[in-house]
Chains A and B, each alone.
Chain A
Amino acid sequence: MSDKRLVRVFLVDDHSMFRAGVRAELDTLTDDIEVVGEAGTVGEAVAGIGHLRPDVVLLDVHMPDGGGAEVLRQSRKAFPEVVFLALSVSDAAEDVIAVIRAGARGYVTKTISSQELVTAVLRVSEGDAVFSPRLAGFVLDAFADRPGAAPISDPELDLLTPRERDVLRLLARGYAYKEIASELFISVKTVETHVSSVLRKTQLSNRYELSRWASDRRLV
């Protein structure tokens, strides 16, 4: 009907009720997304992702046998074209940072509205990163260069540029990408670029202090 390709989504969550709910919402709310499969365990998820090759995996963080980070570890190398979006009830800093560092392209909490979830899925499928305000806060916190923050062990990496910091701050204040763009007088595309590079830095930075730090501060 349209020339637009359907975004194929795979659901991973150990609660079948929740999977059913998300599937129903995605089916009714939009025609751009097709749920192609779901899994309730790490093993099922890895097998399903390998078999179906979805565009986006909606990934639960807490599962009995290792959780979202484990799924990422086992399937990300093999299928680099698959994009992961973490969707979790937990907004504990250590969980968030762990899956982002394992390679998720975004993190949203389960209290997100359905419409926002659709937007988030479409956005990560186009290569953007999706940050909830809370996640932006954690990242800002983790990269803070203020006294008392975690010492930075590899200096050539990844202090955030002032611009990236501005973008993150606005994100944390609850601004949408479009609003950030007009606030900073840049294009939405540029905002997306900044956010993606923040994400890349978070994943690249080999500082295990990142999560240590966050959990020390108990940013829950």
Chain B
Amino acid sequence: MWRGGPRVSILDVTAVLREQGADIERSVVGVERAAAAPEHPKVYRRRSGRAMAGVAGGLADHLGIPVLYTRVAFTLLAALGGAGVVAYGLLWIFVQQVSSDEPAREISGKERQQAFGLVALGLGLAIGAGTLAGTVNGWVAGSTSVALVGAALVWREADQSQRRRVRGAVLGGGGRSAVIRVVSGAALVAAGIVIFLISSIGLDQVQFALLAVVAALVGVAVITVPWWLRLVRDLGDERRARIRTEERAEIAAHLHDSVLQTLALIQKQADAPREVLRLARGQERQLRSWLYGPSGYGRGVADGRIEGGLLAEALARAAGEVEDTFAIKVQHVAVGDCELDERLFAVVMAAREAMVNAAKHAGVAEVSVYAEVEPEKVTVFVRDRGKGFDPEAVPDDRHGLADSIRGRVERNGGEIRLRTAPGDGTEVQLHMPRAKVST
């Protein structure tokens, strides 16, 4: 019941809807056409309004002439030693059929009759011309044409089943008539081959058997050509499309999980600058490593270095953790790199502790970390420009520097030096001799 509003009859609504639907359909078809033929228009075989495989129709559409002309041309060419038939067959095999979304075309009974007449005429001309020219004898011509007719039947069925190609079956879903057509087509091909073989009797048994096997194989190959072609083509198309889709989905998912989430958080916390900084920094680091990192998106996966086993990476990770936890910036630079071992792991942990100390006590926004790998030793500097302190005045109950840094490094055979003075910042230097590597 329509009340209190503008009165709209249900007929108007459906008319509008139908119009919109038609619009959408048109635009969908347009888009698909544009996508299928981006640069130069391709030839497609007709799906509807065809007598055999739609080759002549497609060609006529492509050239913009009436279909009758192309059919006549094929027929006349067929007289030239069967050239028309061959051309038709080749085009059938190699030209793709238009997509099934193409609007159907009406075909009149008269046109159909005309077309079939031309087909028969063409075949007759081809066989006749061949026989007259004496290049082939009657037996061969007869058997070849029987085989060709059979192959044509099977191929036509293959065209029909293109839409059902997902099932990949020759007879997929075509019903009984399709079975009959394919079987009779195959039988015709076989018959053609048998006639051909019989006509060339005179060979001894072994040769005859061999010939029969080869001929049967050729027959099977001929019958299955369209499926092979289609299979290869579709596989390529599908793989390309799938890769593109997957890639897009991966990028979208990543951006959603990372950047968008972070931006949302930042919007919510716009009045907490420290938190915003922390979020932005963490996000930047993550995105950077996703784009340019060792196994990053921008690098591909070409080189497979083991992750996590290298000093520079471990330091970078530690720096990142400190950045995230304490909302400060850790500028880290590494010169050279090497595999982590137990000693170097201790150095990384000590360096991390030094960063944490700087973040907690120095009252600065930035800490510098510099690591250098030399042949005989590894040095790491952790430096801030903060308050600094008097090492003598540190109470005995503070363990950070003594245990976590000095103890850890010295237990592993290294040493630490400390440069600090109140008001002058702090630098912790970690020195660790490298284990002798036998090369």
Contact = CB atoms under 8 A, between A and B. Distances in A.
A172 B374 contact: no
B429 to A, nearest CB: 9
Nearest to A168: B335
A94 to B, nearest CB: 10
B331 A144 contact: no
B370 A144 contact: no
Contacts of A136: 333
Contacts of B66: none
Give chain B's interface residue range (CB within 8 Å of chain A): 20 to 34
Contacts of B336: 141, 144, 146, 149
Contacts of A140: 335, 372
B381 A173 contact: yes
A218 interface: yes
A90 B293 CA distance: 12
A186 interface: no
B368 to A, nearest CB: 3
A173 B335 contact: no
Given A140-B335, A141-B335, A146-B336, A133 B294 contact: no
Contacts of A134: 331, 333
Given A133-B331, A136-B333, A141-B335, A174 B383 contact: yes
Contacts of B372: 140, 169
A217 interface: yes
B234 interface: no
A64 interface: no
A133 B368 contact: yes
Contacts of A149: 336
B170 to A, nearest CB: 51
B391 interface: no
A137 interface: yes
A219 B427 CA distance: 24
A14 to B, nearest CB: 17
Contacts of B312: 219
A188 interface: no
B187 to A, nearest CB: 64
B418 to A, nearest CB: 14
Contact of A220 (B288, B375, B381): B288
A173 B370 contact: yes
B331 A147 contact: no
Contacts of B288: 220
Interface in A81-113: 90, 92, 111
B435 to A, nearest CB: 16
Nearest to B374: A146
Nearest to B337: A217
B370 A174 contact: yes
A115 to B, nearest CB: 12
B292 A172 contact: no
Interface string A133-172: 1101100110010110100000000000000000001001
Interface string A176-219: 00000000000000000000000000000000000000000111
Contacts of A169: 370, 372
- Residue in B294, B329, B381, B427 with the greatest tally of chain A CB atoms within 10 Å: B381
Contact of B370 (A137, A218, A220): A137
B375 A147 contact: yes
Interface in B351-375: 368, 370, 372, 374-375
B68 interface: no
Contacts of A217: 337
Given A146-B375, A173-B381, A92 B368 contact: no
B91 interface: no
Interface in B284-312: 284, 288-289, 292-294, 299, 312
B333 A137 contact: yes
B334 A174 contact: no
Interface in B379-399: 381, 383
A33 to B, nearest CB: 24
A5 B21 CA distance: 70
Interface string B197-241: 000000000000000000000000000000000000000000000
Contacts of B284: 111
A137 B381 CA distance: 13
A92 B299 CA distance: 12
Nearest to B313: A218
B293 to A, nearest CB: 7
Nearest to B331: A133
A137 B335 contact: yes
Contacts of B337: 217
A174 B368 contact: yes
A146 to B, nearest CB: 6
Given A146-B374, A220-B292, A173 B368 contact: yes
Interface in B57-84: none
Contacts of B289: 220
Contact of B335 (A144, A174, A175): A144
A218 B331 contact: no
A7 to B, nearest CB: 26
A199 B372 CA distance: 20
5 contacts: A134-B331, A146-B336, A169-B372, A173-B381, A219-B334
Given A111-B284, A134-B331, A147-B375, 16 more contacts: A111-B329, A133-B368, A136-B333, A137-B333, A146-B374, A146-B375, A149-B336, A173-B368, A174-B331, A174-B368, A174-B383, A218-B292, A218-B299, A219-B312, A220-B292, A220-B293
Closest 7 CB pairs of A and B: A174-B368, A137-B333, A173-B370, A220-B292, A141-B335, A140-B335, A172-B333
